[in-house]
Structure 1
Amino acid sequence: MVSQQLRPAPQESPASYAAPRGSRSVPVLLLKVLVLAVVISTVVSLTPALVAAERWGFLVFFWVLVLLVVAVYATRRAIPLKYLLPGAVLLFSFVVYPVISTFQVSLTNLGDGTRATREEATAQILGASVVQAPDAPRYNLSVATTGSPSAGPYAFLLVDPATGEASVGTDEGLEPLPDATVTDGFVTAADGYELLTPVQVNDASAQLADLTVPVDGGAVRQLGIRQAFLGSTPLVHDEDAETITNTDTGVVYAPTLQGDREYYVSADGQRLSDQSWAADVGLANYVRAFTDARILSDFLGIFGWTLVFATLSVATTFALGTVLAIVLNDRRVRGQKVYRSILLLPYAIPSFISLLLWSGFWNTDFGLINDLTGLSVNWFGGETTAKVAVILTNLWLGFPYMFLVVTGALQAIPEDLKEAAGLDGAGGFTGFRTITFPLLLIPTAPLLVASFAFNFNNFNTIFLLTGGGPFTPDNPTAGGTDLLISYTIRLAFGASGAQFGFASAIAVLLFVLTGVVAALQFRLTRRLEDVI
């Protein structure tokens, strides 16, 4: 017998089955360097603008972000942070920062008539008081901008007809403009300025009417498209005392709080102007929400309807979706795919299209609902019928989603449990109540909570279907089908005047309410973990 010597199998070198490490890492390294360079250069380019605008918070945030990005992605360490950092940045940018900003606005009186600062409001009051004397000097005017022709900021490029000297006037004062090109007595070109056409000047007339150029003893204002005049004002602003004095009458006007706004008011209570400015009011907006009888009644009533709407929307869509899912989950039903595809059509059509169609279906005279039922109900004319219409429309929009969710959950339930329940003598309904439904709630409960939060702030359905109405003549702010979100938006952008500060306070309360309700619901859903 020939003995054979066992020899170890030859080992292959790593290069025989793997590509060199350097050949794979160089493109990745170049891409990483490129991305880091773009991030750093972007923040560096933003820094001068942030410093000029004195936005120190944004400056610190961006540079801290750059340092974190470099520290995390420039090395092979901190691998978990490579995945957590983008999510954390997006969370702060789109959730935390908006909440903080909204809370800050809620502590102010920002709104129509209070959008300007005190300095800007004072300048507008002084500018509005400038009057033209019969012998007031006039200038040839060219309107220019250093920004956008439609948004400004604007400047007056002036030429004195007597001397031919050019100057530029802004809200900070009048300065010489020696490098300007003057043709036929008008400035036609100037470095750093874009001249507006007559059409653009006319379009910006509202902003230009408020522009005054302060000079010693008066101010320069626009007079038509091609002329400006040097006028005088009897008002003198004392920056140290923060008062305005009428030199003709000797009356002194000081900032005085009236309601949630400050005005320049004399000692006998007479306002100099109805122009106010943005100011901090602390918790006054929250106190107003809980103490003003009319607002409190609106808030509580709308909050109650919001809870009812969200609860019924979730309950009805889940019930209908569950019934349809159970029926089509039965193997004895033929054409399951066809039926499921048809039931998903309401979910496939964009909701704003469906809502506009349903708004026509509920029409009293020509609507499909009244035609099919033989009724003549003014669905949107009464509060109760409008709410019924809203719930039924939202049922049509929401049941396909629940149908999908429940269908997936039903197919995940083991058949062994159903068969065991049948062997124990449980009938169809008993088996569903004791086995299927509890197991169905475990995966769907978090989705039901999310659906509740969505419907709690379902602005689209209300806005496109009823507009929040019907409204009563004595209360055009709060409608019969308004949710808190639509009520808040009407406060912020309503025809009666924007109230950004108060609307922000309502939005903060809405955020807290939604969070509390969702937290309670999630806590209740944890009990479902003990069903098996």
Structure 2
Amino acid sequence: MSTTVAPDAPPPRVAATAWSLPSRAVAAASGPVGLALKLFFLAVVNAFAVWAAVLLAGEDKWAALAVLVGATLAIDAIYLSPRAFPLKFLIPGTVFLLAFQVVPIVYNTNIAFSNWSTGHILTKSEAIEGIQRNSLVESAEGGAYAMAPARDEDGKLVLVLVDENTSKAYLGTRSGLEELPEGTARLNEVGEIEGSVPDVTLIPGDQLLSLDQELAGYTVPVGGERAIRPEGFDTALELAKSLRYDPQADTFTRIGDGVVYRDDERGSFVAASGAELEPGWRTGVGFANFSGVLNDPLVRDPFLRVLVWTFAFAILAVLLSFALGLFLAIALDKPKLRFQRTYRSLLVIPYAVPGFLSLLVWQGLLNDDFGVVNSVLHLSVPWLFDPTWAKVSIVLVSVWLTFPYFFLVAMGALQSIPGELIEAARVDGGGRWQIFRRVTLPLLLVAVAPLLIASFAFNFNNFGNIYLLTGGGPPSNDQSVAGATDILITYTYKIAFESGKGQDYGLASAVSILIFFIVATISAVTFWRSKSLENIA
């Protein structure tokens, strides 16, 4: 007699069920549905390309237009072809790489070799027009006019003018002054122009504010080195030119004394005495910005001071954070320690709170007058307003924000070190310090050294910690734009946006390139030196 045992039921296919949803999603996006989605996205891309092409053509950017058309056609060919399967996955990454890495680098490099700054933003032709407008000055013979902005049949801005002395009416355009028939335009009792000018429509008062920029650059030539320029919305003055431009010689001559201003090939018209006309124009200046960092005392001295502090800040922040994180990791690396998880969770809190929020809180805590730190400890330390104490505060706050990161890293690295090595070192008579220095630390650095290098590079450009805590202040003794706690990246920001003489984008871009090479060189050397640690492993 035999007994037949029924086989056990197979276990449920959890994996198959788990993978069924993604599989179904892929299947749903295949076939006609997938083709429709692909055509839809290609249509969006092509619509965007057409819109961009119209803008580029309107600005005469023919090279960029050719690149746009070629890229759009290539994308259509790749995604409509069944053979270009690998390119379909490479194209999105390549586009984002070009958009967010290559283009900004090329653009920043181009700016670094230009004089783009306050007073050198326009093109040369725009700068010449601006100088000519600025050269208009009042004279004893100049008249005053009541003015009313208007539009002609083509929608162009014109000025209806009435001479305040003779009450004659004129129509002013960019090409000249035309006298209007008597009675066409006149002044009413409150001094406003009224009447009807043929083929001209006066602009209503509620629309005048929108003409501010257009009127600012409007002039009506009247001959004899004179022009009428609006002064507000209802008045115009006849002004005399103080400078005469010679397009053949490309020079400006001051009419009063004959002083000649010539193109200095650096974006300005400059006289022999060094006097410069404003505005200038944007042009290439070669390595002048880089040369200024090295040779101009006004730039070089603050740059060197900031560079030294940047190294000190980055090194101290990394080493102190790593030392504190490693110490706490070793102290809590005990299997039988009570409340071990609680301690670890509490130590991670500074890392879990958003950094910018912590910095703003610390800025209040360290305030001289009402800060909690001075109040609780009964101190009167100027944490943020004395150059030395401000640097100490920045380092301490940076350590507070960073040590949890190294605590977690060191804790994981310590647990990966084989216990047999530690035990063998003890058997050989090694003390705690010897075991740490000769066994634990070298093995720990194998995993942690790349992170130390990355943390150094991060702190070298740690804009947030400096800007949110001290703003780069307090002011330095050399009266430069660089404050006592500015590092290179915040110094670059101030050059670009907060300089006393205005924005200097060219110099800021040059400094940013120097920062890149400094960090890249240090990182390359330290990575090369850290290879020796791999032999230990």
Please give the TM-score of this superposition, normalised by the length of structure 2. Answer: 0.78
Q: Distance in 1 between matches of 2:291 and 2:397?
A: 36
Q: Distance in 1 between matches of 2:220 and 2:171?
A: 16
Q: Distance in 2 between matches of 1:113 and 1:23?
A: 56
In structure 2, the residue matched to 1:337 is: 341
In structure 2, the residue matched to 1:512 is: 517
In structure 1, the residue matched to 2:13 is: none
Of stretches 362-371 and 311-320 in structure 1, the one that deviates more from structure 2 is: 362-371
Residues 480, 72 of structure 1: alpha-carbon distance in 2 compared, 3 angstrom cutoff: same
In structure 2, the residue matched to 1:156 is: 157
Q: Give the Å deviation of 1:484.
A: 0.9
Note the 1:267-346 alignment, pairs <5 A: 269=273, 271=275, 273-346=277-350
Structure 2: gaps (5+ residues): 1-19, 179-184, 186-192
Note the 1:247-266 alignment, pairs <5 A: 249=256, 251=258, 253-257=260-264, 262-265=268-271
Residues 305, 194 of structure 1: alpha-carbon distance in 2 compared, 3 angstrom cutoff: farther
Residues 209, 57 of structure 1: alpha-carbon distance in 2 compared, 3 angstrom cutoff: same
Secondary structure at 1:481 match in 2: coil
Secondary structure at 1:331 match in 2: coil
Of stretches 356-365 and 73-82 in structure 1, the one that deviates more from structure 2 is: 73-82
Q: Distance in 2 between matches of 1:60 and 1:406?
A: 53
Q: Give the Å deviation of 1:236.
A: 4.0
Q: Give the Å deviation of 1:185.
A: 4.8
1:47 and 2:53 correspond: yes
Code of the residue aligned with 2:260 in structure 1: it is: Y
Q: Distance in 2 between matches of 1:318 and 1:369?
A: 25
Q: Distance in 2 between matches of 1:496 and 1:143?
A: 41
Residues 386, 199 of structure 1: alpha-carbon distance in 2 compared, 3 angstrom cutoff: farther
Computed over aligned residues only, the root mean square deviation of the Cα atoms, in angstroms, reads: 4.0
Q: Give the Å deviation of 1:105.
A: 1.5
- Aligned residues of 1:264 and 1:272 also touching (Cα < 8 A): yes
Residues 54, 325 of structure 1: alpha-carbon distance in 2 compared, 3 angstrom cutoff: farther
Q: Distance in 2 between matches of 1:101 and 1:186?
A: 53
- Aligned residues of 2:137 and 2:242 also touching (Cα < 8 A): no
Q: Distance in 2 between matches of 1:22 and 1:467?
A: 54
In structure 2, the residue matched to 1:526 is: 531
Q: Give the Å deviation of 1:306.
A: 0.9
In structure 2, the residue matched to 1:243 is: 251
Q: Distance in 2 between matches of 1:240 and 1:279?
A: 20
1:26 and 2:32 correspond: yes
Q: Give the Å deviation of 1:505.
A: 1.4
Give the counterpart of 2:101 among 75, 85, 95.
95
- Aligned residues of 1:164 and 1:185 also touching (Cα < 8 A): no
Q: Distance in 2 between matches of 1:254 and 1:429?
A: 75
Note the 1:106-117 alignment, pairs <5 A: 106-117=112-123
- Aligned residues of 2:150 and 2:158 also touching (Cα < 8 A): yes
Please give the TM-score of this superposition, normalised by the length of structure 1. Answer: 0.79
- Aligned residues of 2:481 and 2:494 also touching (Cα < 8 A): yes
- Aligned residues of 1:492 and 1:499 also touching (Cα < 8 A): yes
Q: Give the Å deviation of 1:453.
A: 0.8
Percent of residue pairs bearing the same amino acid type? 36
- Aligned residues of 2:176 and 2:222 also touching (Cα < 8 A): no
Question: C-alpha offsets along residues 59-113 of structure 1, whole Å, 9 cap, x if unaligned?
Answer: 3443343244334433344544444433333233222222222222222222222
Q: Give the Å deviation of 1:231.
A: 5.4
Q: Give the Å deviation of 1:295.
A: 2.8
Q: Distance in 2 between matches of 1:28 and 1:237?
A: 65
In structure 2, the residue matched to 1:12 is: none
- Aligned residues of 1:262 and 1:276 also touching (Cα < 8 A): yes
Residues 25, 235 of structure 1: alpha-carbon distance in 2 compared, 3 angstrom cutoff: same
Q: Give the Å deviation of 1:261.
A: 5.4
Q: Distance in 2 between matches of 1:302 and 1:143?
A: 56
Code of the residue aligned with 2:250 in structure 1: it is: E
Residues 94, 272 of structure 1: alpha-carbon distance in 2 compared, 3 angstrom cutoff: closer
1:470 and 2:474 correspond: yes
Residues 423, 70 of structure 1: alpha-carbon distance in 2 compared, 3 angstrom cutoff: farther
Q: Distance in 1 between matches of 2:528 and 2:77?
A: 38
Secondary structure at 1:197 match in 2: helix
Q: Give the Å deviation of 1:211.
A: 0.9
